[in-house]
Structure 1
Amino acid sequence: MMKHTLSVAFIAFSFFMASCQGSSDSDEPINRNLEETNLPPEDIEDVFASNYWDDAELVWSDEFDGTDLSQENWKLETGNHGWGNNELQNYLDEGNVEVSDGTLKIIAKKESLGGSNFTSARLNSKKEFKYGKLEIRAKIPDYKGKGIWPALWMLGNDISTAGWPACGEIDIMEYVSYSPNEVHFSLHSTANNHVKGTQITSGPVPLETIEEEFHIYGVLWTDRYIKFYIDTEDNVQLNFLRPTVPSAENWPFSKPFYFLMNIAVGGNWGGVEGVDESLFPAVMEVDYVRVYQK
């Protein structure tokens, strides 16, 4: 979650066109159109076909049944070094995660530990994936005040060698509590990232029930595009096509990625308007994480 500035703006490049901004009830997603679509050879399935994902099969999931977090599926990252964004929380390996009643709870708390005044959890999937229909059904913490930054996202599996942003980042869902009733979808690469102000982003997408109800945050990912949707595949909010001349700098999305789920406190984006300490504990619930592939 190597993140954003306060004002998330669309940057116009000479090599791509943008359509109008989408919303949760809009018919038109945001298009970052970098490639003309040509019909594939007859023996290759058309990833742009309307029925392309109809026969995708479930290949991996965590339904968060039982009372324990699966050690086979997840590992916890720890630390309070700011995570590149001047974040305030100390991520711990116990005390901030609960599995009960069919959901995973990630809990940010107001408590002083290890030099930080807040604790939280950051989960990484041990399994990595290349392409697919990816869905996370989740509910954002109830709105109580400003200062938290929950996210559901992915990083390229070569981050330890390539670093960020060269590894690539897919932000399946981001939310900052100083801006309630809105959700954000973004992509980051060496060519397009928030440090340069060139990230590929939906901007704020209205979602009036984001704090009150569970929603599906989904991604359709092929070697030709990455699409972000809410609840149903036809409710696309951001559509990014592979560049005409793809490279490691502008398309680091042809390799395996892994999932991350966390609640950050404060930070360069989440803490722009301060942190209301009365909002804690803040709980994000995750009903399931599912991966479908062709």
Structure 2
Amino acid sequence: MSRLAHFRARTLAALALTGSLCIAPAVMPASDGATATYDACGAILVKQSGENWSCSFVDNFSGTRLDTTKWVVQDSSVSGFMMNNACFDAAQNHALGGGFLKLSVTRKPAFNCDLPYGTRGTQYMGGGISTYGKFSQAYGRFEVRMKVPNYDGPGLHGGFWMNPQDRDYGIWPGSGEIDVAEWLSGTRDKAYPSLHYTGSTGLLDTGWDCSIGSADVFHKYAVVWSPETIDFYYDGSLCFSRTWQPTDLAPPAPFDKPFTLALVAANGAGLNNAPTSDTPFPSTFTIDYVKAWS
């Protein structure tokens, strides 16, 4: 298990919640005899094999309400999920406007977070959405364009995760987890891609040197997932590549089943430290789009 797993209180499996990749547009015949270089995801992308990627999911957040045919809003009272003591309520801390989704984490007077098995006291309300039960896919290319909070200090945590739709290989981490871009405010100019699975080789399963540069602008976070490797691209550049050798399973398991997409905003904890009086609340993650290709 990577070090990141030790300082985040989470069970993301409960969420009911340019290197070797060529991304030049391909020329394809259009129905009117002209040529087309775009599909629903935008400019058509080309695989290293020369084949075209096929758009399988896209949300540009162009409306004023979340598209519930694509997303479910995280709610702790339903899923039991909390991250770093942040509670989630389906009616709070997510909003659409101007072509963006905004997920926020807020600090409130102490309150009890309702959970399926009781309550838990906290001051923090997070924001999160997932494609759980709406969209899942094994293998392909997945990308988010996102801006993180422009804050360099302890107390904020969020990003882009992928989790198994079904726990075919058991509870976490047996069925796997793909952290595409895990952001910690204490290291503002980096994000961390990771794999989690039974038999994980610890620090080797996390990319520790994936710089994102300035935190006050949008960046693209992508993963290309094949049966042999999982490659992570930040702003079009390959920053981490990993194969895996799970215990008691033969690769490509556990990363051979459909995974869902999740975006989360929460408070920090552990090595990222708890929020201080200087930590800005509310703090917001702004998402421009989410796309997937097969």
State if a TM-score over 0.5 links the two structures: yes
Specify the alignment match of 1:253 in structure 2.
255
- Which secondary structure does the structure 2 equivalent of 1:178 belong to? helix
Q: Tell me which of 190, 194, 197 is aligned to 1:189.
A: 197
Taking every aligned residue pair, what percent have the same amino acid on both sides? Answer: 25
- Which secondary structure does the structure 1 equivalent of 2:184 belong to? coil
Aligned CA RMSD, in angstroms, stands at 3.1
Separation in structure 2 between the aligned mates of residue 88 and residue 140 of structure 1, nearest angstrom:
20
**Gapped regions of structure 2 (runs ≥ 5):** 8-17, 21-45, 113-120
Shift of 1:145: 3.4
Specify the alignment match of 1:57 in structure 2.
54
**Is residue 162–residue 259 contact of structure 2 (8 Å, CA) maintained in 1?**
yes
Shift of 1:263: 1.4
1:243/1:89 CA distance change after superposition, 3 Å: closer
Q: After TM superposition, list the pairs within 5 Å mapping 1:94-109 onto structure 2.
A: 94-109=91-106
Specify the alignment match of 1:131 in structure 2.
139
Specify the alignment match of 1:222 in structure 2.
226
Q: After TM superposition, list the pairs within 5 Å mapping 1:88-99 onto structure 2.
A: 88-99=85-96
The structure in which a higher percent of residues are helix is 2
Q: Tell which has more relative contact order, 1 or 2 (C-alpha 8 A, sep 6+).
A: 1
Q: After TM superposition, list the pairs within 5 Å mapping 1:1-294 onto structure 2.
A: 3-5=4-6, 51-52=48-49, 55-79=52-76, 83=81, 87-112=84-109, 113-114=111-112, 115-125=121-131, 126-143=134-151, 145-159=153-167, 162-192=170-200, 197=202, 200-209=205-214, 211-232=215-236, 235-241=237-243, 243=245, 247=249, 251-271=253-273, 274-278=274-278, 279-293=280-294
**Is residue 104–residue 266 contact of structure 2 (8 Å, CA) maintained in 1?**
no
**Gapped regions of structure 1 (runs ≥ 5):** 7-24, 29-48
1:50/1:65 CA distance change after superposition, 3 Å: closer
Separation in structure 1 between the aligned mates of residue 157 and residue 69 of structure 2, nearest angstrom:
27
Separation in structure 2 between the aligned mates of residue 104 and residue 256 of structure 1, nearest angstrom:
24
**Is residue 207–residue 239 contact of structure 2 (8 Å, CA) maintained in 1?**
yes
Shift of 1:244: 10
Specify the alignment match of 2:35 in structure 1.
none
Specify the alignment match of 2:33 in structure 1.
none
**Is residue 148–residue 177 contact of structure 1 (8 Å, CA) maintained in 2?**
yes
Shift of 1:198: 5.1
**Is residue 190–residue 250 contact of structure 1 (8 Å, CA) maintained in 2?**
no
1:248/1:105 CA distance change after superposition, 3 Å: farther
- Deviation per CA, 1:64-106, whole angstroms, max 9, x where unpaired? 0111011111112222899586x12111111200011001000
Count of residues paired in the alignment: 245
Separation in structure 2 between the aligned mates of residue 259 and residue 237 of structure 1, nearest angstrom:
20
Structure 1 outlier segments of 4+, above 6 Å: none
Separation in structure 1 between the aligned mates of residue 168 and residue 128 of structure 2, nearest angstrom:
17
1:59/1:83 CA distance change after superposition, 3 Å: closer
TM-score (norm 1): 0.74
- Deviation per CA, 1:140-159, whole angstroms, max 9, x where unpaired? 11216311111201111223
- Deviation per CA, 1:162-194, whole angstroms, max 9, x where unpaired? 21001100001011111221111110001117x
**Is residue 188–residue 199 contact of structure 1 (8 Å, CA) maintained in 2?**
no
**Is residue 209–residue 239 contact of structure 2 (8 Å, CA) maintained in 1?**
no
**Is residue 176–residue 269 contact of structure 1 (8 Å, CA) maintained in 2?**
no
Shift of 1:242: 5.1
Shift of 1:283: 0.3
**Is residue 190–residue 211 contact of structure 2 (8 Å, CA) maintained in 1?**
yes
- Deviation per CA, 1:217-252, whole angstroms, max 9, x where unpaired? 0011111211000121xx111111355999268841
